[in-house]
Structure 1
């Protein structure tokens, strides 16, 4: 508990506009203070209803961020519930701007920090793909790595998609820096010919917000879409319902795009969004034996699949921290490879298999997902969905 509280205190210090909300005991969520997200077509009605507290707004990719005056001290969750009607049927598409966070590190789980690892053999395609498959990775960004730094798609990455390794300048690797680079390696293990497109939506501390995710999804759509989108990020919401704005942004990608998201690492069945959305493939983590749930993994009716998520080895950043050598080992010297645990790394194993099957067979990603997750061909586990291994 102390470690959880210490991490939360550090987060709130680093993000002073964030607030913890607890509408029900033990059911936490994090939101940006004084911010409401509103669908474009609902902006006039919402602005009229909040005019007493309204300060400014910003429009982008079909969503508007309404900023309220701080001194009004408005409870944005209570306000959002009132604007939407509070019942099962929402009148307006309005939501607080929830913070999203990368997994693995959060409240009750899990499990570990990345650990330096010896070099891992680079992914190799056994045959040329029958079609080019694009995978969008919304995460911490991407650092150069021998596995892909000479690939044409990497040369096309925008500078703003680069990883930031030590944003607070304390000479230590930020808690989740390298998360996106690690995920890219997992994807390429199963889809070596895939074309990756990185979008940085969380920082090296593993924190971003729904507005950033919506903007990135809008850019994916504007750039022609993607076959597969990997979201190893997410959050709990104040009312345990999905953000209608995130749901709309995912729906705007179209049915030919497959979205895969991690189920989260709180070791519970509380829905984790956007993984729990119906159109999204939610992926839990299997333990070391690949036969049952990893202790940290979320589970529940909303989980669709599970894949290995403990001590996964993949590409990583290069970084040498300040800790001294002990027993002949430098504990914070990373030379491009690491092992890490979390549902974050089970999700790209499923996304990569879908992309690899689509590329190898020359089929659409949706058809590849249907084949991979065919209940007649794979065993299922209660509250974990289909087992995706091998």
Structure 2
């Protein structure tokens, strides 16, 4: 049975958010997930306009009445977003939501009058959309070294570059990895299930912190467990959580974000709009992953890098395959992706430094690349059978043991490589402005790669070791 990766992840994220009925959009096309029966609007007059407009139009929907339309939860918050219920979320299945689609249509005319969007779906922001992130982690041989390897330089607290990672929390034994001895942050919630098996996406934040520290040893890294719940959070909550993180830790030099969502639009994500406008006024550089859908659709917040006013504030990062010459099969792409970094089979800290920890694969590999590439990509290798792909089938899920380091792929991990390169540049040049460092790094960079026929900037650390890959087919 061929795996249906997006559907498998939909089921898994839905189980992690049992009180939030989800739908697949747009129209079951498998591009993003969103909360059923709910739309988002800005607080105040706009929310009231949305509520009134949708209520006036609801006589056109069979089985629904104006009583379905009501604001839910607190009306005001730091992110400036109001949730408006437009239907019973328990109706129907996850293949779409006619009530939400109708609410979006009802607001098209007011949008035209005001010149900006008034309403949005409540998307799921996740580290895992259509891939996991580009694959699942793979154990490495005893004695393996990190890749990228540890760069020259030492940690100096007084001059270290501040990096805030918004992700899953830190594994309980993360300080056993020397590079993370001075890292701080939130603990990973529920590392293992009742069966002692490592939960999916556990170690994601630890892996990212290890990559930053390897490329840029002189960094003060803080990891916040904003995405501990299967790497997913509703858009309506995400903006608020971002504000909470910077309120707790202060605005860092660099904010590393390996999560996001597409939304079928080119004007941003309503739930993080207030945070992004505040970010623009700060000195912080946001480095965000481009996503793993092998798509040109903008993935937010990374795609803010292509919006006017955010050019210097956001760096969007796609993933290169193992040889660094071409884009990885899973990487999103397009003019909104401003740089690419190694993101296939990187080696970093995961978990199990004191005691080996078992992991059971959730997704099966494919017979051929699901995106049509011909090289030995992460879709196919290394071979394993996963729980979600084999429900009701005859395959037995594969179990492995993790102790120390692991290999993992995804734009999730290309992102901290790019973070490390900006931070290392700041240290080497005694540059205190992270946005200036980003521009200097990009201007001085001479490395190039090919992605979908386009020549793109490649940020490749000197300590990264490329891995040979089989020659690709004509599609690269």
Matches within 5 A, 1:267-286: 267-278=294-305, 279=310, 280-286=314-320
1:84-163 equivalence runs, <5 A: 85-87=110-112, 90-91=115-116, 93-103=118-128, 106-107=129-130, 111-117=134-140, 118=142, 120=145, 123=150, 126-127=153-154, 131-143=159-171, 144-146=174-176, 147=178, 150-151=181-182, 154=184, 157=185, 161-163=186-188
Aligned mate of 1:56, from 62, 72, 79: 72
Q: Secondary structure at the match of 2:302?
A: coil
Mapped to 2, the partners of 1:362 and 1:333 lie a distance apart of: 42
Aligned equivalent of 1:342, options 407, 410, 431: 410
1:388 aligns with 2:416: no
Alpha carbons of structure 1 residues 251 and 351: separation in structure 2 relative to 1, 3 Å: farther
Structure 1: distance between partners of 2:450 and 2:399: 37
Q: Do the aligned residues in 2 keep the contact of 1:93 with 1:245 (CA within 8 Å)?
A: no
Q: Distance in 2 between matches of 1:203 and 1:71?
A: 28
The CA deviation at 1:57 is: 2.2
| RMSD value, Cα | 3.2
Map residues 230-249 of structure 1 onto 2, 5 A cutoff: 230-239=256-265, 241-249=267-275
Q: Determine the C-alpha separation between the residues in 1 that align with 2:351 and 2:114.
A: 46
Question: Does structure 1 conserve the Cα–Cα contact (< 8 Å) formed by 2:258 and 2:288?
Answer: yes
Provide closer, same or farther for how the CA distance between residues 204 and 21 of structure 1 changes in structure 2, counting only shifts above 3 A: closer
Q: 1:376 to 1:162 in 2, by over 3 A?
A: closer
The alpha-carbon distance between structure 1 residues 233 and 360, as it changes in their structure 2 partners (threshold 3 A), is: same
Residue 309 of structure 1 and its aligned partner are, at CA, apart by 0.9
Per the TM alignment, residue 339 of structure 1 is displaced from its structure 2 partner at its CA by: 0.8
Instruction: Determine if contact 1:304/1:384 at 8 Å carries over to the other structure.
Output: no
TM-score normalised over the length of structure 2: 0.70
Judge conservation of contact 1:110–1:265 (CA < 8 Å) in 2. yes
Q: Specify the structure having the higher radius of gyration (Cα).
A: 2
* SS of equivalent to 1:30: strand
CA distance in 1, matches of 2:277, 2:343: 28
Change (3 A) 1:80 1:262: same
| Corresponding residue of 1:188 | 213
User: Where in structure 2 are there 5+ consecutive unaligned residues?
Assistant: 56-65, 92-97, 361-397, 463-476
Cα drift, residue 291 of structure 1: 0.6
The count of residues paired between Structure 1 and Structure 2 equals 376
Q: Which moved more, 1:43-52 or 1:305-314?
A: 43-52
Match in the other structure for 1:79: 103
Once residues 27 and 446 of structure 2 are traced to their aligned partners in structure 1, the CA distance between those partners, rounded to angstroms, is 41
Cα 1:174–1:259 shift into 2, 3 Å: same
Identify if the C-alpha distance between structure 1 residues 107 and 377 changes in structure 2 by more than 3 Å, giving closer, same or farther. Answer: closer
Q: Per the alignment, do residues 37 and 226 of structure 1 end up closer, same or farther by CA in structure 2, a change over 3 Å counting?
A: farther
Give a deviation string over 1:70-100, Cα, whole Å, max 9, x none: 5386733542454464559654554322101
What is the deviation of 1:193?
Answer: 1.9
Q: CA deviation at 1:35?
A: 3.5
Summarize deviations over 1:320-365 as a string: whole Å, max 9, x none.
2277xxxxxx953222311101111101100111122223322110
Kept in 2, the 8 Å contact 1:311–1:339? The answer is: yes
Structure 2 Cα separation of the partners of residues 90 and 375 of structure 1: 39
Q: Which residue of the partner structure matches residue 368 of structure 1?
A: 437
Return the alpha-carbon distance in structure 1 between the equivalents of residues 53 and 216 of structure 2: 49
Which residue of 2 is the match for residue 327 of structure 1? none
Three-state SS of the structure 2 residue aligned to 1:352 is helix
Check conservation: 2:122, 2:235, Cα contact below 8 A: yes
> Contact 1:98/1:210 (CA < 8 Å) preserved in 2?
yes
The structure with the largest strand share of the pair is: 1
Structure 1 runs not aligned, ≥5 long = 324-329
Change (3 A) 1:132 1:75: farther
Between the aligned partners of 1:292 and 1:137, the Cα distance in structure 2 is 27
Which of 387, 400, 410 is the aligned partner of 1:332? 400
Contact 2:71 2:82 in 1 (8 A): no
Shift of 1:124: 6.5
**Is the contact between residue 145 and residue 336 of structure 1 (CA under 8 Å) also seen in structure 2?**
no
Matches within 5 A, 1:297-308: 297-308=331-342
Structure 1 stretch 79-88 or stretch 298-307: which is displaced more? 79-88
Tell me which residue corresponds to 1:326. none
- 1:137–1:212 distance in 2 versus 1, CA, 3 Å: farther
| d(CA) in 2 for partners of 1:26, 1:375 | 41
